[in-house]
Structure 1
Amino acid sequence: MRNQALYRQWQMLHLINQNRATGISKGELALYFKVSKKTIARDITNLSSCGFPIYEDQDADRENQVFYYFVQSYRLPDYSLNYEDILNLSLASKLWQESGLVSSENIKNLLRKIDSNLDKSILKFYRDVQKALISDSTGIVPSTEVMNQQLSQLLKAILNYKKVSFDYYSVQSQKHSHKEISPLSIKYFNHNFYLAGYYKKIDQVIVFAVNRIDALVVSDSPQDEVAFDSDLYFNSGFGIYTGKVFQVRLQFYPPTSDYIAERIWHPEQKIEKHPDNSIFLEMPANSLSEMKKLVLSYGAQVKVLEPGELVDIIQSEAKSILEVYR
């Protein structure tokens, strides 16, 4: 709830600033944020107590409505960027470019909005950095305008503490269904966005691939109260889908073992090096299907040691692969 109020108050500051000449009414703000006028008055009091010079005026010419203004001499702080800021922004944009949601042109326009007086050398530096960095577009889920809008709606629903409903296609069941959930967090994983949401019907938090969401509607209803820690939820095992946690032990052979050893696959991983240059990787997981994908991606360069159920799955898949090539 605190995040919802902070996000609303941050938006409120900018709405007052955008309407500094005519003011913006308490009713308009209540309608915009879909909250009561009492909530708006409380938010304004909180902002004023933080030092923002907001005053109210009851305008007799406009139906005696209460309007909010900044004092005339006040301006929201200007933004200024240096070369290090641009470099960090460039790196971040490249990481996000693979999602299809951000382009170099988007960032360039953002820079112009942040500071119209940016030195031309700053923009040139940004262009040079973009040329030097290349993002990975292999296996990405193509971005569409609808998906971009849905991501924006989902983020606002999370921040404003609202429920959402949508039609969803499950790859595993190969079926469509309608869901109403309380959206809690979004994770970018393996070139796609995933939404964790509380599904009251089964009293469980489940994960949805955002690209398979259709006909999204943000409700006026508040989210269901649920204890949720996004870091704990997504980092309890390996991959994106969750379930009962189990330990996995894999043996990787050279040269793949060097590649595996230099990376973090899980915060709680343990790597044991052997004289033959193979390594044992041990880590928690919570999805056999996720582990199956990882193991198969390295072919004969990896052997499953534990758990036995995963050994059986890989052996069965290997036999099926042989049948395909007969």
Structure 2
Amino acid sequence: MSRRERLYHLHDILRQRRTPIARQDLMDELGCSQATLYRLINELRDHLGAPLEQDPDGRGFYYDRSLAGSFELPGLWISPDELQALLTARHVLGNVQPGLLEDELEGVQQRINQLLDAQGLDFSTQPGRINIRHDAGRPVPAELFEDVMQALFRRERLVITYHGRRRDDVSEREVSPQRLTSYRDRWYLDAWCHRSEGLRSFALERIREIRRLEEESLELPEEDIALHFDQAFGIFSGPAEHEALLRFSPEAARWAADEVWHPEQRTQWRPDGRFELSVPFGRSRELVMEILRYGRDIEVLAPDFLRQAVSSQLEAALGHYR
């Protein structure tokens, strides 16, 4: 049951009751924890204005009957997080490559505009009020994107001609698409590579040619895909085999403390104002690039091979200026 469904259900329960209902009974009815119940109660009472009261012993909840008849939940309301998602979706649809599902997406965009208009946000007359930049993104040909999408949902294999940046080589591979991932304004195809006999990520803009096969794709459990791609830092991560311990200077800490490098990261503030971040990772190349972004304001404390890799990169960079 979603948050919105629980809110409506909670409202219906309280509206139909003549006497207070116990906290545990509400938790059982809604299938939620005590913490979730109190979040729902706070949202219903404080944000939506419901006449929700609590009995003196704090164990039961009820609607004030003198006010309950005039209160109704709005037909639609949007949380701040949902508003951000709608704004982002609207921007993406407005900037999609010409010809890519153009007619279908126009209807979706109109529906998003209607949802935003219902919140008093008239984007049709003031579209420039929101500016979302995607400077680092790399365009993907419309036909290629559509072929990948069709193969993904029809469970078809693909033969791709792929230009790898790292080795600057071109290879042909037969792959079974598993999912599409959007990461830092770029699209990646997570797939089983039959040549390598393993899971790989392919940047869509590096695919030179593509051919769909009638042969059914190999399907892997979602748990295996998440284990391979999602446990470690970065898009070309592999399983999380190591943990990086990074220390930021007091000045850089003010920025680093607000960043999410990985969902499983751990953080700690030091008494002198420095900030430490622990991040699980597999392959180190992408992590090294992210560390170098902070220059002198970051130090790798562990593991030793990662510290040495960053040190070597800094030494090589310094060589250009000697």
User: TM-score, normalised to structure 1's length?
Assistant: 0.65
**Match of residue 169 from structure 2:** 175
CA distance in 2, matches of 1:97, 1:212: 23
Q: Are positions 1:136 and 2:130 aligned together?
A: no
Structure 1 equivalent of residue 191 of structure 2:
197
SS at 2:176's partner residue?
strand
Using the aligned pairs only, state the percent identity.
20
The 3 A distance-change label for structure 1 pair 89 and 128 is farther
Candidates 236, 257, 273, aligned match of 1:241? 236
Q: Per the alignment, do residues 111 and 208 of structure 1 end up closer, same or farther by CA in structure 2, a change over 3 Å counting? A: closer
Please give the per-residue CA displacement for 1:48-82, whole angstroms capped at 9, x wherever unaligned. Answer: xxxxxxxxxxxxxxxxxxxxxxxxxxxxxxxxx97
Q: Any stretches of 5+ residues in structure 1 without a counterpart?
A: 1-80
Q: Which residue of 2 aligns with 1:187?
A: 181
Aligned to 2:254: 258
The partner residue of 1:286 within 282, 285, 299 is: 282
Structure 2: 5+ residue stretches without partners: 1-74
Amino acid at match of 2:237: T
Select the residue among 270, 274, 278 that pairs with 2:266.
Answer: 270
Distance in 2 (alpha carbons) for counterparts of 1:192 and 1:98: 17
The structure-2 alpha-carbon separation of the partners of 1:161 and 1:251, relative to structure 1 and needing over 3 Å to count, comes to: same
| 3-state SS, counterpart of residue 281 of structure 1 | strand
Once superposed, what is the RMSD of the aligned Cα atoms? 3.5
> Does the 8 Å contact 2:160/2:208 carry over to 1?
yes
| One-letter amino acid of the counterpart of residue 301, structure 2 | L
Which aligned segments of 4 or more residues in structure 1 are displaced greater than 6 angstroms? 105-108, 121-124
Give me the whole-angstrom Cα distance separating, in 1, the residues matched to 2:85 and 2:279. Answer: 33
Q: How does 1:206-245 map to 2 (within 5 A)?
A: 206-229=200-223, 230-244=225-239, 245=241
How many positions carry a matched residue from both structures? 241
Cα displacement string for residues 68-122 of structure 1 (whole angstroms, at most 9, x for unaligned residues): xxxxxxxxxxxxx97859956741325636985499x98993258769xx79x77
Contact 2:88 2:132 in 1 (8 A): no
How far apart are 1:264 and its partner, in Å? 2.0
Is the Cα contact below 8 Å between 2:178 and 2:220 reproduced in 1? no
What's the TM-score, normalizing by structure 2?
Answer: 0.65
* Distance in 2 between residues matched to 1:243 and 1:260, nearest whole Å: 24
* Greater relative contact order (Cα < 8 A, sep 6+): 1
Who is 1:323 aligned against? 319
Do the aligned residues in 2 keep the contact of 1:185 with 1:195 (CA within 8 Å)? yes
